Amino acid sequence: MADLNEATRLQKETTLQKLLRRPEMGAFVVMIVIIVALAIASDGKAFNPLGLKNNIAIIAQYGIIATGAAALMIAGEFDLSIGSMIGFAGMSMAMMLKWGLPFGLGEASPAMAFFITLAMTLGIGWMIGMIVVRSGLSSFIVTLAFLFFLRGVTEVCFRLINQSTQISGLPDFKLESWFANLMGGEVFGWFYDLWFMLGGNLNRRGEQWVTGFDARFLWWIIIAGAAYFILSRTQIGNWIYATGDNKEAARANGVPVDKVKVGLFMFTAFCATIFAACQVYDTNTSDAAKGNLMELFAIAIAVVGGTLMTGGFGSIIGVVFGAITVGLVANAVFFIPAIDGAWFRVFLGGILLAAVFANERIRKRITGGI
């Protein structure tokens, strides 16, 4: 009894046990199940060269915005304006590309259109963050206001300047502008080249079929990789977790809580802008409904990936798994024509609910059941 102290009561865990307790474990298992099920149900078509490219395209889209949403949720806030921000950013870029720079300043290059738009979206993100931290209002309500506001502004601008709520038939900027190619072109061509050299990746005439992934795949890797590094390995990451866990404790220890939050609202705006830029430069079109409901998908994926609704806990790796799962299921209808596309939402609702319960269990285990 004498040598028994409180530290000895904590069981030593093996590496495997620790792995099983990680927050992203649930998302990982679900992802594996979906990958296997989809491969069987689609007769392998979902992962043939074109199937893989198309799946990665939608997964990367979800992944980009879910990373932003998850980082913000870890700090204890929501952003419901992501979807409208995508619409606004897409409108802004396409409009400049078609009608030139504002105030008659001449033609807009793809890079100029992007950076002017980014300056605006970061400004709006900063403003949303400042309103939330200064007023102390719930970010739910403040960003809901911006959901309507930005969508409205997008439509009004379209009708006022363009007379129509969509822009199509822009020239293919990818062909001349390296910047447009960076956003909307293809990446990792070597992967498909290698596949071709190894005897696969053939079309019906026996030529190379697919030449590369969409550029947004690279952007997703960059954004998720940077977010992972920052959250788990840096001082700012420690501040983000501290802010979401117990704001007052963080403040008492000198963490600049408000700056952290404002910065993260700007980060979600950045993710939405990258999402929009990839879309605009890939398809050379834009319309006022782009990004609709994306804020909710982003939050759902973050939760499926193990992020707590109450903040302070979550992992970018889990969000990667979540994005893969949700992206594959969203796309499944193209590979299994027999199923109704609406089953996707049934599935999403189901795993979202399951994930919330699982996350709550994790939180209780960590905090000792309170």
For residues 12 and 204, which CB has a smaller minimum distance to another protein in the complex? 12
Determine if 242 is a binding residue for another protein (CB under 8 A): yes
Question: Cα 335 to chain center, whole Å?
Answer: 23
Tell me which stretch binds another protein (CB under 8 A): 47-55, 115-123, 128-136, 307-315.
307-315
Q: Dmax of the chain from CA atoms?
A: 84
| Binding range to another protein, per CB under 8 A, among 2-10, 161-169, 182-190, 333-341 | 2-10
- Choices 29-37, 109-117, 243-251, 350-358; region in contact with another protein by CB under 8 A: 243-251
Strands 213-214 and 286-287: unpaired
Nearer to another protein, 199 or 254 (CB): 254
Q: Would you call 370 helix, strand, or coil by DSSP?
A: coil
From candidates 6, 160, 175, 205, binder to another protein by CB under 8 A? 6
Report helix, strand or coil for 273: helix
Nearer to another protein, 309 or 336 (CB): 309
Round to whole Å and give the CA distance between 62 and 32.
Answer: 18
Residues 249-288 that bind another protein (CB under 8 A): 249-250, 252-255
Rounded Cα gap, residues 353 and 200, in angstroms = 40
C-beta closer to another protein: residue 90 or 237: 237
Alpha-carbon distance of 278 to 217, in angstroms, equals: 10
Please give the Cα distance from 95 to 111 (Å, whole number).
14
What the block records as the tokens of 332 is 């499944």
Angle between helices 257-283 and 215-233 (to 10 degrees): 170
Q: Does 361 bind another protein (CB under 8 A)?
A: no
Residue placing its CB nearer to another protein in the complex, 209 or 239: 239
Q: Is the alpha carbon torsion for 141, 145, 150, 152 positive or negative?
A: positive
* From 54-62, 119-127, 166-174, 235-243, span contacting another protein (CB under 8 A): 235-243
- Least distance from another protein to the Cβ atom of residue 304, Å: 19
> Which tokens in the block code for residue 84?
């409208």
Integer Cα distance of 41 and 12 in angstroms: 42
- 49-74 vs 257-283: helix axis angle to the nearest 10? 160
Q: How far is the CB of 271 from another protein (least distance, A)?
A: 20
User: At its nearest, how many Å lie between another protein and the CB of residue 310?
Assistant: 9
- Of 2, 248, 338, 340, the residue at the interface with another protein (CB under 8 A) is 248
How far apart, in whole angstroms, are the C-alpha atoms of residue 361 and residue 370? 11
* CA 135 centroid distance within chain: 27
State the minimum distance, in angstroms, from the CB of residue 196 to another protein.
38
Considering only the stretches 82-90, 261-269, 324-332, 359-367, report the one whose residues sit in contact with another protein under the rule CB under 8 A. Answer: 359-367
366 binds another protein (CB under 8 A): yes
Distance from C-alpha of 62 to C-alpha of 303, rounded to nearest angstrom:
13
Tokens at 280, concatenated: 């605009």
Least Å from the CB of residue 140 to another protein = 21
Q: Does 312 bind another protein (CB under 8 A)?
A: yes
Residue closer to another protein, measured from CB, 8 or 163 = 8
> Six-digit token pair at 149?
């506001």
Asked whether position 238 contacts another protein by CB under 8 A, the answer is yes
Q: If binding is defined by CB under 8 A, does position 236 make contact with another protein?
A: yes
| 269 touches 295 (CB < 8 A) | no
Residue 3 as a binder of another protein (CB under 8 A): the answer is no
Is residue 239 a contact residue for another protein (CB under 8 A)? yes
Residue 4 interacting with another protein (CB under 8 A): no
Q: How far apart are CA 253 and CA 261, in angstroms?
A: 16
**Cβ neighbours, 10 Å, residue 13:** 11
237 near another protein (CB under 8 A): yes
For position 338 contacting another protein by CB under 8 A, the verdict is no
Comparison of 141 and 366: residue with beta carbon closer to another protein: 366
| Interacting residues toward another protein by CB under 8 A | 5-7, 10, 12, 229, 233-239, 241-242, 245-246, 248-250, 252-255, 308, 312-313, 363, 366-368
